[in-house]
Structure 1
C-alpha cells in the first residue's frame, strides 16, 4: 500500500484527488496535510517522512500583488525541498505546474521555477520527480472568480448574475477528474518526468462554453429539463454547472399538475438524453440509498406518500434535508460526490420514480456506499 500526501489537500484539485484516492482503500493510504505545516518544520518533516508519494499542489493562483504570488509559490516549493533534504526522503514527488509557464507573467514564472527546484532536488538525491504541466482545469466545486472562468460563469448563472466575456479566445481544457486519473496513473507506475505535458481533453472558445452554460440555465435550472448531452465534455460541463446550484433554496422543485374530473397528470422529466427510469414503493420507516456517484445524473420524484431526502457532500458534515409530499409532487436531483438517501416518513407506502442517465452496469457502477448520517 502506497502512502500518499497532498499539499494543497483542501484546494480544488487537491480535494478531488484526496476523495478519489479514498475509493481505493486497499491500494492507497492518505496522509493528511494541513497548510500550517509549511510554517512548522517538525510538522512538515513528520508529514514528509510518512509519504511514499507527495503531490505538491499548494500554490496561489490569483492575488492583487503578482510579486506576492511569485514569492509565495517559490517559497512553498523551497520549504518542501528543505524538508525532503532534512529527512533524507526518497519519496516520488509530483508538482502541478501550468501551461502559463511560457507566458510573460510572474505566476507562470513561479510555477516553472518551483518545478525546477524540485527537479534539482530529485537529480541530486537520486529520487523520482514528476513535473505536471497542466492546461486549464474545470470541474465541480471550483472556486468562482479564482479557479476558472467556468466556475465563475456557472456560479453567476445559478445566482442571478450575468456573465461577461473579457477575451473570447480558445482555451485548452481538462476536467478535474480526468486530471486526477492521470495523477493516479503516475502514482501507480510513473517513471518520473521533469516535464510531463498533460494534454487537454477539449479546446473551446469562451463564448462556446458560455452558450452551453446558458442553455443549461434555461432548460435545466429554469425548466427542470435534462439538456442534450452529446459527448463526455458536455457531460462533465453539465455536472460542473450543477455543482454551483444552491441546493437548499432550489430544491425540492414542485411539478406542474394538470387536473380534471378524471384525476391529475404530471410530467416527471423531459429529457435531451436517454437513461434508465424506475419506480419503487417503500414501506413506512424504511430508508433507501446511502450511496454517492462521481459522474451520474439522477432525479428522485415523489408522487405518493411522504419522504425525507437527505444529501451530504462526502467530505462535509452538513446534511441537507428535503421534505416531499405526494400531495404536491416534487423532485430533487442528486449532485455528484453527495451521498444521498430517501426515507419513508409517512404512514402509507411511498411511491418514487427514479431517473438516472445511464443503465446500471455492475462492472462500472459508479456507486459508492457511504451513510448520509455519520
Structure 2
C-alpha cells in the first residue's frame, strides 16, 4: 500500500485528490497534512518521512503583490526540498506547475522555478520526480476570484451578482475530477518525468462558458428544470455550477400543487435529459441512503408522509437537515460529494419519488457508502 501525502490538502485540487484517494483505501494510505507544517521543521520532517508519494500542490495563486506570490511559492518548494534532504526521503514527488509557466508573470515564473528546483533535487539524490504542467482547472468548491473564472461566474450567478468578462478568448480547461484521475494514474505508474504535460480536455471561449452557465441559472436555479446536457463537459460544468448554491436556504423547494374536487396534481420534474425514475415506500423510523455520488444528479421528492433529509459534505462535520411533508410536496436535489439520507419521521408510510440522471449500473454505480 502506497502512503500518499498532499501539501495543500485543503485547497481546491488537494481536497478533491484527498477525497478521491479515500475511495481506494485498499491501495493508498493518506498521510494527513496541515499548512502549519511548513512553519515547523519537525512536523514537516515527520510528514515527509512517512510518505512514499508526495503531491506538492501548496501554492499561492492570488495576492496584491506579485513579488509576494513569487517568493511564497519558491519558498514552499525549497522548504519541501530541505525536508526531503534532512529525512533522506526517497519519495516520489509530483509537483503541480501551470501552463502559465511560459507567460510573463511572477506566478508562472514561481511555478517554473519550483519545478526546476525539485527536478534538481531528484537528479542529485536519485529521487523520483514528476513535474506536471496543468491547464486551467474547474470544478466544484473552487474559490471565486481565486481558483478560476468558472468559480467566479458560478458564484456570482447564484448570489445575485453579475459576472463580467475581462478578456474573452479560448481557454484550455480540465475538470478537477479528470485532473485527479491523471494524478492518480501517475502515482500508480511511479515514473519520473521532469516535464509532464497534462492535456486539457476542453477548449471553450470564456463567453461560451458564461452563456451556458446563464442557461443553467434560468432553467435550473430559478425554475428547478434540469437543463439539457449534451456532453461530458456540460455535465461537469453543471455539477460545478450547482455546487455554489447556498444549499441550506435553497432547499427544500416546494412544488406547485393544482387542486380541485378530484384531488391534487403536482409536476415533480421537468427534464432536458433522460435518466431513471423510481419511487419508494418507507415505514416509520427507517432511514434510506447514507451514501454519496461523485457525478450523478439526483432529486428526492416527498409526496406523502413526513421526511427528514440530511446532507453532509465529505470531509466536513456540518449536517444540513431538511424537513419535508407530503401535505406540501417538495424536493431536495443531492449535490455531488455530499453524503445524504432520508428518514421517515412520521407515523405513516413515507412515499418518495426519486430521479437520477443515469440508469443504475452495478459495475459503475458511482455510489459510495458513508454515514451522514
Q: Could you tell me the TM-score, scaled by structure 2's length?
A: 1.00
What SS does the aligned partner of 1:22 have? helix
Q: How many residues align?
A: 372
Matched, 1:275 2:267: no
2: CA distance, partners of 1:262 / 1:363 = 44
Name the CA distance, whole Å, in 2 between partners of 1:117 and 1:86: 16
Partners in 2 of 1:105 and 1:140 — Cα distance? 27
Distance 2:96 2:296 in 1: 28
1:223-275 Cα shifts (integer Å, max 9, x gaps)? 10000001100000000000000011000000011111111111000000000
Supply the distance in 2 between the matched residues of 1:85 and 1:22 (Cα, whole angstroms): 29
Q: Which residue of 2 aligns with 1:80?
A: 80
Counterpart CA distance in 1 for 2:284 and 2:159 is: 37
Q: CA deviation at 1:26?
A: 0.6
What does 1:87-126 correspond to in 2, within 5 Å? 87-126=87-126
Residue in structure 1 matched with residue 231 of structure 2 by the alignment: 231
Q: Any idea what the Cα deviations from partners look like across 1:91-117, whole Å, max 9, x if unmatched?
A: 000000000000000000000000000
Equivalent-residue separation in structure 1 for 2:140 and 2:300 (angstroms)? 21
Partner of 2:359: 359
| Matching residue of 2:150 | 150
Instruction: Tell me the CA shift for residue 279 of structure 1.
Output: 0.6
SS of the counterpart of 1:195?
Answer: strand
Q: 1:35 matched to which residue of 2? A: 35
The answer as to whether partners of 2:292 and 2:337 remain within 8 angstroms in 1 is: yes
Please show how residues 290-309 of structure 1 align to structure 2 within 5 Å: 290-309=290-309
Runs of 5+ consecutive residues of structure 2 not aligned to the other structure: none
User: Equivalent residues in 2 for 1:52-91 (5 A)?
Assistant: 52-91=52-91
Q: Secondary structure at the match of 1:141?
A: coil
Unaligned stretches of 5+ in structure 1?
none
1:175-224 C-alpha deviation (Å, 9 max, x unpaired)? 00000000000000131211100110000000000011000000000010
Aligned to 1:201: 201
The equivalent of 2:137 in structure 1 is 137
What is the SS of the residue equivalent to 2:239? Answer: helix
- SS for the counterpart of 1:18 is helix
Per-residue Cα deviation, 1:80-135 (whole angstroms, up to 9, x for no partner): 00110111111000000000000000000000000000000001111110001000
TM-score of the two chains, using structure 1 as the length reference? 0.99
| Secondary structure of residue in 2 paired with 1:270 | coil
What is the CA-CA distance between 1:169 and the residue it aligns to?
A: 1.0
Alpha-carbon distance between aligned partners in 1 of 2:368 and 2:197, rounded to the nearest angstrom: 32
Is the CA contact (8 Å cut-off) linking 2:92 and 2:190 kept in structure 1? no
How far apart, in 2, do the equivalents of 1:34 and 1:285 lie? Answer: 40
- Report the equivalent of 2:329: 329
1:287 aligns with 2:256: no
CA RMSD of aligned residues (A): 0.5
2-structure distance, mates of 1:45, 1:347: 57
Q: Which residue of 2 aligns with 1:45?
A: 45
1:165, 1:24 → 2: CA distance? 40
Q: Hey, what's the Cα distance between the residues in 1 that align with 2:27 and 2:330? A: 41
Distance 2:155 2:221 in 1: 12
CA distance in 2, matches of 1:348, 1:329: 16
Match of 2:171 in 1: 171
Partners of 2:199 and 2:186 in 1: how far apart? Answer: 14
Question: Following superposition, which runs of at least 4 residues in structure 1 exceed 2 angstroms of deviation?
Answer: none
Q: In the alignment, which residue of structure 2 is the partner of 1:260? A: 260
Does 1:213 find its partner at 2:228? no
2-structure distance, mates of 1:87, 1:327: 64
